[in-house]
Structure 1
Amino acid sequence: MEGALQYVEDNDMSIRGASRKWGVPAATLPKWLSCLTTMPKKGPPTILTYQEEEEIVQWCQEMAGCGHGLEIINLKAVTAEGLDKDQALCLRLAIVSTFYETLSKAYAANPYGPARIWNCAETRVMADRNEAMRVPARKGSWNVSYILSKSHEWITIVCCVNASRQSIPGFYMIKGKRLLHNYIAECEPGACMAVQQHAWMTKELFMNWLHHFKRSVLGGVSPTNRCLFIFDDHDSHVALPTIQEARMLGIDLLTLPAHTSHKLQPLNVSVFSPFKTSNRKETHG
Structure 2
Amino acid sequence: MKAALNVFREGNIGFNEVCRQYSIPKPIFRRHLKSYNVRANESKKIIGRSCSFSAEMEEDLEKHILTLESIFFGVTIREVRKAAFEFAERNGLKHNFNKITRMAGKKWIYSFMSRHPQLSLRQPESTCKGFNRSNVQEFFNILEKLVDDHALTAPKIYNVDETGFSTVQKRCQKVLAKKGKSQVGVIASGERGVNTTFVCCASAAGQYVAPMVIFKRKRMAPELADGAPPGSLVEITDTGYTNADLFVTWLKHFIAAVKPSKEDRVLLVLDGHTTHSRNLAAIEMARENGVIILQLPGHTTHRLQPLDVAVFKPFQVYYDQSVEKWLREHPGRTIGQFQVARLIGEGYGKAACVANAISGFKKCGIWPVDRNVFTDVDFEGGDVLQTEPKPKALAESKDADDTPSSDDDVPLALLVEKQKSCATSETRPLDVSFEDILPIPNSPGNQKNASKRAQAAKVLTSTPHKDELKPKQSTIEEKKKRLAKRKIGIANGQPKKKSKKEKCFSMVQMT
TM-score interval for Structure 1 and Structure 2 normalised by the shorter chain? 0.7 to 0.9
Closer/same/farther in 2, CA of residues 28 and 260 from structure 1, 3 Å limit: same
Per-residue deviation, residues 30-68 of structure 1 (Å, max 9, x unmatched): 52243549xx98243788796x75xx7xxxxxxxxxxxx
Report if the CA contact (8 A) 2:195-2:215 is conserved.
Answer: yes
Q: CA deviation at 1:145?
A: 3.3
Opposite residue 116 of structure 1, the aligned amino acid is K
Matched, 1:124 2:164: yes
> Which of 203, 222, 231 is the equivalent residue of 2:244?
203
Per-residue deviation, residues 178-222 of structure 1 (Å, max 9, x unmatched): 2023312212211111101111111111001100101122xx212
Matched, 1:4 2:40: yes
> Which of 157, 160, 164 is the equivalent residue of 2:201?
160
Closer/same/farther in 2, CA of residues 228 and 23 from structure 1, 3 Å limit: closer
How far apart, CA to CA, are the structure 1 residues paired with 2:207 and 2:174? Answer: 33
Structure 1 gap ranges (5+): 8-21, 57-75
How far apart, CA to CA, are the structure 2 residues paired with 1:46 and 1:118? Answer: 53
> Which of 109, 131, 143 is the equivalent residue of 1:44?
109
Matched, 1:248 2:288: yes
> Which of 250, 265, 271 is the equivalent residue of 1:232?
271
Q: CA deviation at 1:28?
A: 4.0
Q: CA deviation at 1:108?
A: 2.1
Closer/same/farther in 2, CA of residues 3 and 180 from structure 1, 3 Å limit: closer
How far apart, CA to CA, are the structure 2 residues paired with 1:181 and 1:151? Answer: 25
> Which of 48, 54, 60 is the equivalent residue of 1:31?
54
Opposite residue 82 of structure 1, the aligned amino acid is S
How far apart, CA to CA, are the structure 2 residues paired with 1:144 and 1:207? Answer: 44
Aligned to 2:173: 133
Per-residue deviation, residues 113-141 of structure 1 (Å, max 9, x unmatched): 21110011110011344443323445554
Matched, 1:80 2:124: yes
SS at match of 1:284: helix
How far apart, CA to CA, are the structure 2 residues paired with 1:154 and 1:253? Answer: 28
Aligned to 1:105: 145
Structure 2 gap ranges (5+): 1-36, 62-95, 97-105, 326-511
How far apart, CA to CA, are the structure 1 residues paired with 2:134 and 2:308? Answer: 22
Report if the CA contact (8 A) 2:215-2:235 is conserved.
Answer: yes
The structure that has the greater radius of gyration is 2
How far apart, CA to CA, are the structure 1 residues paired with 2:255 and 2:39? Answer: 82
SS at match of 2:208: coil
How far apart, CA to CA, are the structure 2 residues paired with 1:110 and 1:100? Answer: 15
Opposite residue 276 of structure 2, the aligned amino acid is H
Report if the CA contact (8 A) 1:5-1:33 is conserved.
Answer: no
Structure 1 range deviating more: 169-178 or 93-102: 169-178
Q: Which has the higher helix share?
A: 2
SS at match of 1:158: strand
Report if the CA contact (8 A) 2:268-2:293 is conserved.
Answer: yes
Report if the CA contact (8 A) 1:120-1:161 is conserved.
Answer: yes
Q: Which has the higher contact order (CA 8 A, sep 6+)?
A: 2
What's the TM-score once normalised by structure 1's chain length? 0.74
Query: What is the RMSD computed on CA atoms of the aligned residues?
Result: 3.2
Report if the CA contact (8 A) 1:130-1:152 is conserved.
Answer: no
Report if the CA contact (8 A) 1:170-1:191 is conserved.
Answer: yes
Closer/same/farther in 2, CA of residues 95 and 149 from structure 1, 3 Å limit: same
How far apart, CA to CA, are the structure 2 residues paired with 1:90 and 1:47? Answer: 36
Aligned to 2:187: 146
Opposite residue 146 of structure 2, the aligned amino acid is A
Q: CA deviation at 1:77?
A: 7.7
SS at match of 1:5: coil
Q: CA deviation at 1:24?
A: 11
SS at match of 1:159: strand
Closer/same/farther in 2, CA of residues 251 and 138 from structure 1, 3 Å limit: same
Q: CA deviation at 1:109?
A: 1.9
How far apart, CA to CA, are the structure 1 residues paired with 2:209 and 2:164? Answer: 17
Report if the CA contact (8 A) 1:137-1:144 is conserved.
Answer: no
How far apart, CA to CA, are the structure 1 residues paired with 2:111 and 2:180? Answer: 34
Q: How many residues align?
A: 241
How far apart, CA to CA, are the structure 1 residues paired with 2:245 and 2:172? Answer: 35
Opposite residue 5 of structure 1, the aligned amino acid is N
**Between the two proteins, what is the percent identity of the paired residues?**
25
Q: CA deviation at 1:112?
A: 1.2
Q: CA deviation at 1:90?
A: 0.9
Opposite residue 256 of structure 1, the aligned amino acid is L
Report if the CA contact (8 A) 2:168-2:188 is conserved.
Answer: no
